[in-house]
Amino acid sequence: GTSMSLLDGAERPAAMGLLRDACESWGFFEILNHGISTELMDEVEKMTKDHYKRVREQRFLEFASKTLKEGCDDVNKAEKLDWESTFFVRHLPESNIADIPDLDDDYRRLMKRFAAELETLAERLLDLLCENLGLEKGYLTKAFRGPAGAPTFGTKVSSYPPCPRPDLVKGLRAHTDRGGIILLFQDDRVGGLQLLKDGEWVDVPPMRHSIVVNLGDQLEVITNGRYKSVMHRVVAQIDGNRMSIASFYNPGSDAVISPAPALVKEEEAGETYPKFVFEDYMKLYVRHKFEAKEPRFEAFKAMENETPNRIAIA
């Protein structure tokens, strides 16, 4: 964990060093004093939990009892399930929050405000990564904006209700995130998030009012592997309902993603990460989300070599 207020004073070099180490060694970091007010966060947490109880809980419990029964009969089936109740909101390129049923107007307004703060924070963090990588300020946000001029930005609101058989079913199966930079607000009472570090699963403990940040596959490509996206999962818990609000600041669907030229050394010209249109990566990812990312990168490299004219040139 690191406090962003350290970036404003004499501590800045040390704080930037911590950030660099987190990006290079972990792909995850937790920040405090990130500029989003604790009042706003408390309000978001309260309304999200109320909304789950009022609208989603009954539906989830019906699904869950059926799922567990089937899972007990067929363990292979249980391995492919996620014990979570989720809805998605898109903010950019255009918002769909008005179309999501069951949200009351106060909650819609609140989520819009929260999303605007998170968007600002994501762009600020991307500029800090640029600084650490020696890229000019704005390089990453510009890469994400693509020809249409907007990133894809959306939020996944999840509840992980108590699970009677955590031995049988995961909260969310292990995966890396396909996108850019992910900002997570989770409640500080119920844990369950874990990341894979040197072959071991490590807990990411909930910390009040913090934002947990992790890096997705696209930053691994742009940094040519200097920063890696990390496998993570959610372990279902017997008690407590974990709230998780993950906002994904991703490239626009038409953005062409490739390693930043400044980060490719001459001698590794043939060893670089691939170049592709983000939307094509998404299509591949949807089919193989819970699998290793390396074959996804390889598939695009193979396509580049075979049909150079098919790849859009940025």
78's CB contacts (< 8 A; 6+ apart) are 70, 71, 72, 168, 169
Q: Name the pTM for this structure.
A: 0.92
In this model, does residue 271 exceed pLDDT 80? Answer: no
The answer as to whether 130 is a domain residue is: yes
Residue 311 lies in a domain: no
The token duo for 268 is 């590794």
Q: Which tokens belong to 176?
A: 């890396």
pLDDT higher than threshold 80 for residue 266: no
pLDDT, residue 307, reads 45
Residue 162, domain member (yes or no): yes
Residue 103 has pLDDT above 70, yes or no: yes
Query: For the chain, how many structural domains are there in total?
Result: 1
Q: Find where tokens 């193989």 sit.
A: 288
CATH number at 142 reads: 2.60.120.330
Q: Find all residues with CB under 8 Å of 206, minimum gap 6, and list them.
A: 186, 187, 188, 189, 190, 191, 193, 242
Range with lowest mean pLDDT among 93-97, 138-142, 255-259, 263-267:
263-267
Q: How confident is the model at residue 227 (pLDDT cuts 50, 70, 90)?
A: very high
Q: Does position 15 have pLDDT exceeding 80, yes or no?
A: yes
Q: What are phi and psi of 83, to 5 degrees?
A: -85, 75
Is residue 304 predicted with pLDDT exceeding 50? yes
Torsion of CA 285, 291, 292, 297, to 10 degrees: -20
Range of the domain at 167: 2-306
Query: Exposed/middle/buried for 273, CB within 10 Å: 0-12, 13-18, 19+?
Result: buried
pLDDT band at 9 (very low <50, low <70, confident <90, very high): confident
Q: Assess if residue 314 is contained within a domain.
A: no
Residue 141 lies in a domain: yes
Does the pLDDT at position 309 exceed 70? no
Phi, psi of 186 (to 5 degrees): -120, 155
